[in-house]
């Protein structure tokens, strides 16, 4: 039995779309996996029939960081590997979590169990397995702070191994899993180490109004959910993938130059990996200053409240959204001389394509 036939034997029910932009309809060559054995089974068949299949399977979790720009025609593996195991010692909690668990459900589960620390990361869509890939972050906290190890299946050798935190090379929206040579690694589980010494992180936005001496993790969790619901469009109703672009990192000289013209321009310090000579600018602020909030093109739109979020307002295709992203990117480049790099991963006809290169090539003329 060929790979294509085998994957067609399972039905996926539920959501109509593969992605939260709601542009890629679920097709029949999607197979859901609920265990590592399932995954090995798929890759054994795939390796046997490799020459007949144009691309290796695309792993999809919640589809909340994907933009389909080229009618992807290859096989899709929908990750539903579940399970949470908990251990503890005097200093910390240790969790092993199946990579197909929902990230937000995991955060809620920890809070209910009295395991505090991840409350700032509530309501981020997607799966636990995708969290290490871009080292998800929000409200001054990043995934890497809780990472003990990441368990992966090497889809070439079909061997399971664990990468310790240092081996994952976490950075701002970055990790070793984004390197081309590591795209063959399928994340099957994540190990967490959550310290029992809880300290609230209240440095960002609404959270800074809370009293650090009295606040509880539950209150932070609730405020994060409330704020995110007010500020971000719900992908269940309006197609989007959260922040479309990363916050750009620039040199301190560039910051000084821009600050002379725009004294109210916000900027943030970044981690030591990028060096102390650099700072992070707020991509949303730059887009807003280009007066693009609410700008619409072929049903793709810059969100009216959050300029960093592009939405599928009215039957836009992935290409329409990419075209809008190009306009946003060019406007910011022209006004500030700063290049915005997509945070969202672009999927072309045969799999992932380099988003920056893709945007540099598209235009109204050839699309
Ligand atoms: C409304 C909204 C708000 C958001 N807010 C935030 C935020 O605050 N902070 C933040 O960091 N992100 C945010 N995001 C982005 C997104 O939620 C994260 O990037 C999330 O981790 C993606 O998870 P996913 O399971 O949906 O991944 P997918 O979109 O399914 O996949 C993303 C990439 O990871 C690969 N992949 C997925 N699972 C695996 C696996 N098990 N093994 C190997 N590769 C895999 C895919 O092939 C793809 O290349 C937001 C998105 C939305 C829609």
pLDDT score at 25: 80
| Bridge partners of residue 251, in order along the sequence | 278
Q: Is the distance from the beta carbon of residue 20 to the nearest atom of ligand 1 less than 6 Å?
A: yes
Which one-letter DSSP state was computed for residue 102? Answer: B
Q: Which domains does the chain have, with CATH numbers?
A: 3-79 (3.30.43.10), 84-228 (3.30.465.10), 240-361 (3.90.78.10)
Which atom of ligand 1 is the closest one to the Cα of 240?
53
| pLDDT, tens only, 68-102 | 999 898 899 999 999 999 999 999 999 999 999 99
Q: How confident is the model at residue 63 (pLDDT cuts 50, 70, 90)?
A: very high
Over 90: is that where the pLDDT of 295 sits? yes
Q: How confident is the model at residue 365 (pLDDT cuts 50, 70, 90)?
A: low
CA angle 274, 276, 278 (to 5 degrees): 65
Counting ligand 1 atoms within 8 A of each CB, the residue from 64, 120, 123 with the most, and so the one to mutate, is 64
Cα torsion 160, 346, 361, 300 to 10°: value is -170
Over 50: is that where the pLDDT of 3 sits? no
Cα(90) to ligand 1 centroid in Å equals 33
Q: How confident is the model at residue 339 (pLDDT cuts 50, 70, 90)?
A: very high
Over 90: is that where the pLDDT of 366 sits? no
Q: Is the distance from the beta carbon of residue 232 to the nearest atom of ligand 1 less than 6 Å?
A: yes
pLDDT score at 9: 31
Say how far apart CA 133 and CA 143 lie, in whole Å: 10
pLDDT score at 2: 39
pLDDT score at 230: 94
Which atom of ligand 1 is the closest one to the Cα of 59?
47
Q: How confident is the model at residue 272 (pLDDT cuts 50, 70, 90)?
A: low
Calculate what percentage of the chain has a pLDDT beyond 90: 84
Say how far apart CA 89 and CA 248 lie, in whole Å: 40
Say how far apart CA 87 and CA 186 lie, in whole Å: 24
Q: Is the distance from the beta carbon of residue 138 to the nearest atom of ligand 1 less than 6 Å?
A: yes
Catalytic positions, written as ranges: 173, 243, 343
Q: How many residues does the chain have?
A: 367
pLDDT score at 367: 46
Say how far apart CA 275 and CA 91 lie, in whole Å: 31
pLDDT score at 7: 35
Q: Is the distance from the beta carbon of residue 152 to the nearest atom of ligand 1 less than 6 Å?
A: no
Residue 171: what are its φ and ψ, rounded to 5°?
-140, -170
Q: Is the distance from the beta carbon of residue 61 to the nearest atom of ligand 1 less than 6 Å?
A: yes
The two structure tokens encoding residue 17: 């779309």
Q: Is the distance from the beta carbon of residue 120 to the nearest atom of ligand 1 less than 6 Å?
A: no
Pairing of strands 58-60, 76-79: parallel
Helix (H, G, I), strand (E, B) or coil at 78: strand
The two structure tokens encoding residue 77: 């593996």
| pLDDT, tens only, 4-60 | 333 333 333 456 899 999 998 877 688 999 999 999 999 999 998 888 877 889 999
The two structure tokens encoding residue 35: 């265990």
| pLDDT, tens only, 150-167 | 999 999 999 999 999 999
Q: Is the distance from the beta carbon of residue 133 to the nearest atom of ligand 1 less than 6 Å?
A: yes
Over 80: is that where the pLDDT of 275 sits? no
CA distances from 34 to 37, 81, 97 (A): 8, 4, 13
Which atom of ligand 1 is the closest one to the Cα of 129?
41
Over 70: is that where the pLDDT of 273 sits? no
* Dihedral sign computed on CA atoms, order 166, 172, 177, 180: negative
- Residue nearest (by alpha carbon) to ligand 1 atom 24: 126
Counting ligand 1 atoms within 8 A of each CB, the residue from 60, 103, 107, 130 with the most, and so the one to mutate, is 130
pLDDT score at 12: 39
- Residue nearest (by alpha carbon) to ligand 1 atom 14: 242
Helix (H, G, I), strand (E, B) or coil at 114: coil
Report residue 205 CA to chain centroid gap: 21
pLDDT score at 259: 96
- Residue nearest (by alpha carbon) to ligand 1 atom 8: 138
pLDDT score at 329: 98
The two structure tokens encoding residue 182: 């590591």
Pairing of strands 76-79, 30-33: parallel
| pLDDT, tens only, 95-122 | 999 999 999 999 999 999 999 999 999 9
Helix (H, G, I), strand (E, B) or coil at 187: strand
pLDDT score at 5: 34
Q: Pick from 106, 138, 100, 103: which is nearest to 121 by CA?
A: 138
Say how far apart CA 61 and CA 18 lie, in whole Å: 9
- Answer yes or no: are the C-beta atoms of 58 and 72 closer than 8 Å: yes
Q: Higher-confidence residue: 14 or 340?
A: 340
* Dihedral sign computed on CA atoms, order 223, 225, 228, 230: negative
Counting ligand 1 atoms within 8 A of each CB, the residue from 74, 105, 125 with the most, and so the one to mutate, is 125
Number of C-beta neighbours around residue 80 at 10 A: 17
Start-to-end Cα distance in the chain: 38
């Amino acid at each position: 039995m060929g790979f294509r036939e085998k994957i067609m034997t399972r039905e996926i029910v539920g959501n109509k779309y593969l992605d939260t932009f709601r542009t890629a309809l679920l097709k029949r060559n999607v197979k859901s996996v609920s265990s590592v054995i399932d995954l090995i089974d798929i890759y054994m068949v795939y390796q046997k029939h490799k020459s007949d299949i144009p691309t290796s399977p695309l792993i999809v979790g919640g589809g909340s960081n994907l933009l389909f720009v080229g009618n992807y025609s290859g096989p899709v593996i929908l990750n539903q590997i579940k399970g949470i195991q908990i251990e503890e010692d005097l200093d910390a909690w240790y969790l092993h979590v199946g990579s197909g668990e929902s990230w937000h459900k995991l955060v809620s589960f920890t809070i209910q169990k009295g395991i505090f620390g991840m409350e700032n990361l509530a309501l981020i869509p997607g799966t636990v397995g995708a969290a290490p890939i871009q080292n998800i972050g929000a409200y001054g906290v990043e995934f890497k702070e809780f990472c003990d190890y990441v368990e992966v299946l090497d889809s070439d050798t079909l061997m399971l191994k664990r990468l310790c935190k240092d081996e994952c090379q976490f950075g701002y929206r970055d990790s070793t899993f984004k390197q081309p040579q590591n795209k063959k690694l399928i994340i099957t589980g994540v190990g967490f180490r959550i310290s029992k010494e809880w300290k609230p992180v209240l440095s960002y936005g609404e959270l800074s109004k809370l009293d650090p001496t009295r606040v509880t993790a539950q209150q932070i969790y609730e405020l994060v959910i409330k704020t995110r619901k007010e500020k971000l469009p719900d992908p269940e109703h309006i197609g989007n993938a959260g922040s479309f672009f990363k916050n750009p990192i620039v040199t301190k000289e560039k910051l000084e130059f821009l600050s002379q013209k725009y004294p109210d321009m916000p900027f943030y310090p970044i981690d030591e990996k990028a060096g102390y000579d650099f700072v992070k600018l707020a991509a949303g602020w730059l887009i807003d200053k280009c007066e693009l909030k609410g700008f619409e093109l072929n049903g793709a739109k810059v969100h009216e409240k959050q300029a960093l979020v592009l939405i599928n307002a009215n039957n836009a295709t992935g290409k329409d959204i990419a075209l809008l992203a190009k306009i946003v990117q060019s406007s910011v480049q022209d006004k500030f001389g700063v290049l915005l790099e997509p945070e969202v991963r672009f999927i072309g006809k045969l799999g992932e394509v380099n988003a920056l290169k893709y945007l540099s090539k598209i235009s109204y003329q050839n699309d």
